[in-house]
């Protein structure tokens, strides 16, 4: 009997550099659970990587690394579609159509654009500004109903919902679902190890700010040893964490990696010092991240296997994309 699924899940990661603990805990770790009861499409969003001009060779290499990371983390390529965004041209076509339903005022509110463009907005590329419309197209092309992302993508998801509704309203249809964000777990926003007020990010110039999925045990240990803390005692309750962002971050990481709650971590360590806590954190990170890193390396050694998964994934994604795009054109009646 064919399995019935609860939802159609879509999510993705940009092939812009080393995947880090934030990408894993905020997104990929949750996908592994979701694949059990849902139809899932996991994309490597390379077109998004061009919103900041980059060298194509590095993007190409990173695509294989991201695919290997998905599989090493537990995504089953037999049960799910794994593919590269630029291998399905309907993303770009739908993005253009949806951009015609997106008021500029909505895009002006996007905080990620303001952060990334900085002071020189006039010189920022149009792609960086319209990136959330392409993201809406990625999701809506497959009529995805749930989108598991880290907390930083909440605003973009809200925009996708608004764009979907704007299209449906104009054509008096219910063709597009209103996709729900799935922001799951204690580490939906992992912060930099050097500054607890900044998101852990691939583009942070300091490698000590993040744990990369490819880091060796030695590198993980060194980074946790150097992770910023403060001179106060280990906190006794969650309220104390509010004014201590670096400590809060480390405790959330511990809770997420060990699948326990923040309070349980506090209960376990509140009579200990940070040296003891960091030793335990190093241990659990080394177990978890190192096993992913070793598996990733094994998978990366078999490029033919990886490329076949991406080719098969692109075929399946193109099939769904072609069908839905035809229906979209029919609804619009223009093309
Ligand atoms: N620090 C984070 N904590 C929790 N989740 C995070 N994500 C990213 N950073 C964190 C989630 O990972 C998924 C893929 O993200 P992405 O690579 O497509 O883009 P990003 O959010 O722009 O990631 P970076 O690392 O910050 O990249 P750069 O430095 O290139 O801008 C998303 O679900 C995201 O929420």
Distance 170 CA to ligand 1 centre (A): 33
Q: At which residue do the structure tokens 């930099």 appear?
A: 192
Helix ranges (H only) for the chain are: 21-23, 29-34, 46-49, 56-73, 90-99, 104-108, 111-117, 126-141, 154-170, 217-226, 238-241, 245-257, 262-269, 274-300, 303-332
Q: Which ligand 1 atom lies nearest to the CA of residue 45?
A: 18
Distance 7 CA to ligand 1 centre (A): 23
Could you tell me if the CB of 256 is within 6 A of ligand 1?
no
Q: Which ligand 1 atom lies nearest to the CA of residue 191?
A: 1
Could you tell me if the CB of 43 is within 6 A of ligand 1?
no
Distance 60 CA to ligand 1 centre (A): 19
pLDDT at 79: 95
Could you tell me if the CB of 16 is within 6 A of ligand 1?
yes
Pairing relationship of beta strands 146-148 and 180-182 according to DSSP bridges: parallel
The angle that helices 274-300 and 262-269 make with each other, rounded to 10 degrees, is: 130
As annotated, the active-site residues are: 116, 199, 202
pTM recorded for the entire structure: 0.94
Residues contacting 108, CB < 8 A, separation 6+: none
Same fold, 8-186+303-332 and 207-297: no
Angle at 236 between CA 279 and CA 194, to 5 degrees: 50
- 15: enclosing H helix or E strand: none
CATH level 2 (architecture), domain 207-297? Orthogonal Bundle (1.10)
pLDDT tens, per residue, the chain with 335 residues: 566 778 999 999 999 888 999 999 999 999 999 999 999 999 999 999 988 877 788 888 899 999 999 999 999 999 999 999 999 999 999 999 999 999 999 999 999 999 999 888 899 999 999 999 999 999 999 999 999 999 999 999 999 999 999 999 999 999 999 999 999 999 999 999 999 999 999 989 999 999 999 999 999 999 999 999 998 999 999 999 999 999 999 999 999 999 999 999 999 999 899 999 999 999 999 999 999 999 999 999 999 999 999 999 999 999 999 999 999 999 999 88
| Ligand 1 atom 21, closest CA | 152
Q: How many CB atoms lie within 10 A of CB 269?
A: 18
CATH superfamily assigned to domain 8-186+303-332: HUPs (3.40.50.620)
C-alpha–C-alpha distance, residues 208 and 184, integer Å: 26
The three-class DSSP label of residue 3 is coil
Among 203, 201, 222, CA closest to 281: 222
Could you tell me if the CB of 202 is within 6 A of ligand 1?
yes
Could you tell me if the CB of 190 is within 6 A of ligand 1?
yes
Q: What tokens appear for 290 in the block?
A: 């190192």
Distance 16 CA to ligand 1 centre (A): 10
Q: At which residue do the structure tokens 């990661």 appear?
A: 13
Among 219, 154, 162, 166, CA closest to 21: 219
For the chain, the maximum distance between any two Cα atoms, rounded to a whole number of angstroms, is: 68
Say what the alpha-carbon torsion angle 122, 126, 127, 130 is, to the nearest 10 degrees: 100
Could you tell me if the CB of 140 is within 6 A of ligand 1?
no
Choosing from 10, 15, 26 the residue with most ligand 1 atoms within 8 A of its CB, the one to mutate for a pocket test is 26
The angle that helices 126-141 and 90-99 make with each other, rounded to 10 degrees, is: 110
Could you tell me if the CB of 23 is within 6 A of ligand 1?
yes
Distance 323 CA to ligand 1 centre (A): 30
Query: Domain spans of the chain?
Result: 8-186+303-332, 207-297
Residues contacting 288, CB < 8 A, separation 6+: 257
pLDDT at 2: 63
Which residues are registered as beta bridge partners of 180?
A: 146
How far CA 296 is from CA of 12, 81, 187, 209, 218, in Å, comes to: 18, 18, 22, 22, 17
Could you tell me if the CB of 152 is within 6 A of ligand 1?
yes
C-alpha–C-alpha distance, residues 328 and 140, integer Å: 10
Q: What tokens appear for 122 in the block?
A: 């006039």
Could you tell me if the CB of 205 is within 6 A of ligand 1?
no
Distance 232 CA to ligand 1 centre (A): 31
Could you tell me if the CB of 145 is within 6 A of ligand 1?
no
Q: Which ligand 1 atom lies nearest to the CA of residue 149?
A: 33
Q: Which ligand 1 atom lies nearest to the CA of residue 116?
A: 31
Distance 291 CA to ligand 1 centre (A): 21
């Amino acid at each position: 009997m064919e399995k019935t699924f609860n939802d159609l899940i879509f999510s993705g990661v940009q092939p812009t550099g080393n995947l880090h603990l934030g990408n894993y805990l905020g997104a990929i770790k949750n996908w592994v659970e979701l694949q059990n009861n849902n139809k899932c499409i996991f994309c490597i969003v390379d077109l998004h990587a061009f919103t900041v001009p980059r060298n194509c060779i590095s993007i190409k290499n990173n695509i294989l690394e991201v695919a290997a990371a998905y599989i090493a983390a537990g995504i089953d390529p037999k049960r799910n579609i794994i593919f590269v965004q630029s291998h399905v041209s309907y993303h770009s076509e739908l993005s253009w159509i949806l951009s015609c339903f997106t008021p500029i005022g909505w895009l002006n509110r996007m905080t990620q654009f303001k952060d990334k463009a900085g002071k020189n907005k006039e010189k920022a590329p149009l792609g960086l500004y319209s990136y959330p419309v392409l993201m809406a197209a990625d999701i809506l092309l497959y009529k995805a109903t749930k989108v598991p992302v880290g907390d930083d993508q909440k605003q973009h998801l809200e925009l996708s919902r608004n764009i979907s509704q704007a299209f449906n309203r104009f054509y008096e249809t219910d063709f597009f679902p209103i996709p729900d964000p799935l922001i799951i777990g204690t580490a939906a926003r992992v912060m930099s190890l050097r500054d607890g007020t900044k998101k852990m990010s691939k583009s942070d110039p300091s490698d000590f700010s993040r744990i990369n999925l490819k880091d060796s045990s030695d590198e993980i240990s060194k980074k946790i040893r150097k992770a910023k803390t403060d001179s106060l005692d280990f906190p006794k309750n969650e309220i104390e964490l509010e004014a201590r962002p670096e400590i809060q971050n480390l405790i959330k990481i511990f809770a997420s990696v060990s699948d326990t709650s923040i309070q349980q971590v506090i209960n376990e360590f509140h009579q200990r010092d940070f040296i003891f806590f960091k030793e335990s954190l190093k241990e659990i990170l080394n177990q978890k991240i190192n096993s992913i890193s070793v598996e990733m390396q094994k998978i990366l050694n078999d490029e033919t296997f990886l490329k076949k998964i991406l080719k098969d994934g692109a075929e399946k994604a193109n099939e769904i994309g072609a069908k839905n795009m035809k229906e979209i054109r029919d609804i619009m009646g223009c093309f």
